[in-house]
A and B are shown apart, each in its own frame.
Chain A
Amino acid sequence: MGFSQLKRPALVVGKYAAIVFYLVFALFPLYWLVKIAVTPDRLIYTDGTRLWPSEFTLSNFVAVLFQTDFLSYFSNSLIVSLGTAALTTLFAAGAGYAFSRFDFGGKKLIIAIMLITQMFPLLMIIAPIYKIIAGLGLLNSLTSLIIVYTAFNIPFATFLMQSFFDGIPKDLEEAAMMDGCSRFEALRKVILPLTLPGLGATLGFVFTAAWSELLFALMLISKNDTMTFPVGLLTFVSKFSVDWGQMMAAGVLALIPSCLFFIFIQRYLVQGLTSGAVKG
């Protein structure tokens, strides 16, 4: 629609040129990452800007997986991201349900506070959080990261979950409650199965957010054995900044979980992100 005038050849050519431009712009950086990762080290300089590697190798991946600490960074990140995603989704589902189904005193105030947490610079609380967590003796622990990330992600996840609950007619659980279910039973037996896609999307968003977080992890984690992937990769880059092939192989590995989740949540993007973005 809106482009039904697109019958003139110049416009058609323009359209396909735009398609190619966006594809190249989006994919070329990632392609280059993979390309350097599969190029043997000795060829990186001679290959230069050639678009296709003259030889292909997986040795960089093998080296990264078995000769460095990346497997440990990887599993730390996985624990933190999965923990954060599960906790956030659980709490946000509760809060989103309350916003969607109840009218109560202070509702507007709580929503306003949640919106404000989305606006203020998170870096503002990096110093206090460091001091609090150091005071509790929880520096260098994955638990502290999970707690902090969960709190950061709850507001957005709540608005997202609320929009999913809003999409389910109230009559459904009212009918179940007429039939003698308590509200919680109605929620568990009737509503929850219907929000499974919504729960999945929220899990995906939060997982990717936690997987990418860098600055708080840098501040709170300094020991090698509890480093998350971003911190580990950055430490690796600043220590071994000439081992291009291995760095990029590590980068490709960091990309995998996000891409998997992305494929999974892709179809919710337009509906989910917009409803969440407008509000939060």
Chain B
Amino acid sequence: MESRAVITRKQNTVERGETRARRSLYWQYVVEPFVYLSPSIILIGAVMLMPLIIGISYSFQSIELLRPFNTGWIGFENYAKLWADRKFWIALENTFWWTFWSITLQFFLGLGLAMLLNTHFFGKKLFQALVFLPWAVPTFLSALTWAWLFNPVIGPLPHWLTALGILSEPYNILGDPDLALWGPIAANVWFGVPFFAITLLAALQSIPGDMYEAAEIDGASAWQTFTKITLPFLAPMIAITVMLRTIWIANFADLIYVMTGGGPANSTQIISSYIFTTAFRRLDFGYASAIAVVLLILLMIYAVILLVIRKKLVKV
């Protein structure tokens, strides 16, 4: 009898607690999280999402600040102009090469650095701090520094490249339409290697050590250990990092704008720098927005393709 009384009393308290919980459910699930979230949501909505929609609508309008009386809706005229714009197609091709070489070089140099940092050697902490430093250098300054390094008047690079027989004489490759894109790529690789190294290092450190011990006992060579253990473990991280970085690099116009301004003769113009020069120099907002919408669509297609490939790989 006594024990039953205890049980009913217990049930009572539980029930009372539940009603209180139910009353506060509304507060907890609907109101309270948004108290913490609202400043962020409002700001992102006002500064990013609303302008995004306005930007898409701009691409169907003629908005040139230099010709203020020429505004109005023009349908797909900006896009038709874009289709016939030779500069746009050059920029598209340059975007491909810029992104491809930047990401490839960043990735392999970053992987090498991460594997190096995953070993033990004297002074490793200091080494790590020093090699990660370029990541902290402001992008405009990386761009200027590399532009200066490529300048034969004050920079050593043209002289060294000549001594190595790569250049016939020490001149500025940023002024040579055939080679100019390599200037910003070099700056981008320098700036981006630490990021890859950091992400890959974290992934490397998550590989359980006994895997390597087991491989060693089985007499695996260093190459076998790398291809059979390290790479498979890193693969998911590599896939996602490369995807995110590709999108980021394709959007990244600062280096090119500062180092070459897209020149000479549009040989370094990529789509994102073309958007910026169209908006900033020519103040043609309608056309700039149309280019931006096309870039957005291309990046979305790219992301979808990658996600599909990734899903297929995971299934197999």
* Residues of A within 8 A of B (CB-CB), count: 96
Closest to B116 in A: A18
Contacts of A66 in B (CB 8 A): none
Bound together, the chains give a CA A126 to CA B47 distance in angstroms of: 10
Closest to B126 in A: A23
Bound together, the chains give a CA A98 to CA B112 distance in angstroms of: 38
Residues B121 and A15 in contact, CB atoms below 8 Å apart:
yes
Bound together, the chains give a CA A177 to CA B119 distance in angstroms of: 45
Contacts of B237 in A (CB 8 A): 278
Which of the residues B46, B159, B207 comes within 8 Å of A49, measured between beta carbons? B159
A171 to chain B minimum Cβ distance, whole angstroms, is 18
Residues A218 and B280 in contact, CB atoms below 8 Å apart:
yes
Bound together, the chains give a CA A248 to CA B145 distance in angstroms of: 8
Residues B51 and A132 in contact, CB atoms below 8 Å apart:
yes
Of B7-15, B171-179, B221-229, the one with at least 4 CB within 8 A of chain A: B221-229
- The reply on A175 being an interface residue by CB < 8 A is no
Residues A26 and B134 in contact, CB atoms below 8 Å apart:
yes
- The reply on A62 being an interface residue by CB < 8 A is no
A208 to chain B minimum Cβ distance, whole angstroms, is 6
Residues A124 and B293 in contact, CB atoms below 8 Å apart:
yes
Closest to B241 in A: A277
Contacts of B169 in A (CB 8 A): none
Residues A92 and B280 in contact, CB atoms below 8 Å apart:
no
A199 to chain B minimum Cβ distance, whole angstroms, is 15
Of A2-10, A52-60, A189-197, the one with at least 4 CB within 8 A of chain B: A2-10
Bound together, the chains give a CA A151 to CA B119 distance in angstroms of: 40
Contacts of B49 in A (CB 8 A): 113, 117
A91 to chain B minimum Cβ distance, whole angstroms, is 4
Residues B44 and A155 in contact, CB atoms below 8 Å apart:
yes
- The reply on A110 being an interface residue by CB < 8 A is yes
B178 to chain A minimum Cβ distance, whole angstroms, is 23
Of B77-85, B86-94, B96-104, B252-260, the one with at least 4 CB within 8 A of chain A: B252-260
Closest to B57 in A: A128
- The reply on B201 being an interface residue by CB < 8 A is yes
Bound together, the chains give a CA A247 to CA B147 distance in angstroms of: 12
- The reply on A168 being an interface residue by CB < 8 A is no
Contacts of B296 in A (CB 8 A): 120-121, 124
Contacts of B254 in A (CB 8 A): 214-215
- The reply on B156 being an interface residue by CB < 8 A is yes
Main DSSP-derived SS at the A contact region? helix
Q: Which residues of chain B from 34 to 71 have any CB-CB distance to chain A below 8 Å in the complex?
A: 34-37, 39-41, 43-44, 46-52, 54-55, 58, 63
Closest to A277 in B: B199
Residues A123 and B272 in contact, CB atoms below 8 Å apart:
yes
Take A32-B155, A214-B140, A234-B140 as given contacts and tell me if A151 and B46 are in contact as well, using a CB distance cutoff of 8 Å: yes
Closest to B250 in A: A121
- The reply on A211 being an interface residue by CB < 8 A is yes
Closest to A228 in B: B140
Q: Which residues of chain B from 163 to 210 have any CB-CB distance to chain A below 8 Å in the complex?
A: 190, 193-195, 198-199, 201-203, 205, 207, 209
- The reply on B305 being an interface residue by CB < 8 A is no
Bound together, the chains give a CA A181 to CA B241 distance in angstroms of: 42
Contacts of B148 in A (CB 8 A): 32-33, 36, 244, 247-248
- The reply on B127 being an interface residue by CB < 8 A is yes
Residues B251 and A104 in contact, CB atoms below 8 Å apart:
no
Bound together, the chains give a CA A237 to CA B257 distance in angstroms of: 13
Take A113-B49, A129-B51 as given contacts and tell me if A102 and B156 are in contact as well, using a CB distance cutoff of 8 Å: no
- The reply on A138 being an interface residue by CB < 8 A is no
Bound together, the chains give a CA A91 to CA B37 distance in angstroms of: 8
Contacts of B145 in A (CB 8 A): 29-30, 32-33, 251
- The reply on A70 being an interface residue by CB < 8 A is no
Take A22-B116, A147-B43, A278-B240 as given contacts and tell me if A128 and B54 are in contact as well, using a CB distance cutoff of 8 Å: yes
| 18 A-B residue pairs with CB within 8 Å | A6-B222, A32-B149, A95-B39, A95-B41, A105-B29, A118-B244, A122-B251, A125-B52, A127-B279, A127-B288, A154-B40, A158-B40, A212-B140, A230-B140, A234-B140, A262-B133, A262-B135, A266-B129
Task: List 5 A-B pairs, minimum CB-CB distance, nearest first.
Answer: A151-B47, A262-B136, A212-B138, A128-B51, A124-B292
Q: Which residues of A contact B (CB under 8 A)?
A: 1-6, 11, 15-16, 18-19, 22-23, 25-27, 29-30, 32-33, 36, 44-45, 48-49, 90-92, 94-95, 97-98, 102-105, 107, 110, 113-114, 117-132, 147-148, 150-152, 154-155, 158, 183, 208, 211-212, 214-215, 218-219, 229-230, 233-234, 237, 244, 247-248, 251, 254-255, 258-259, 261-263, 266, 269-271, 273-274, 277-278
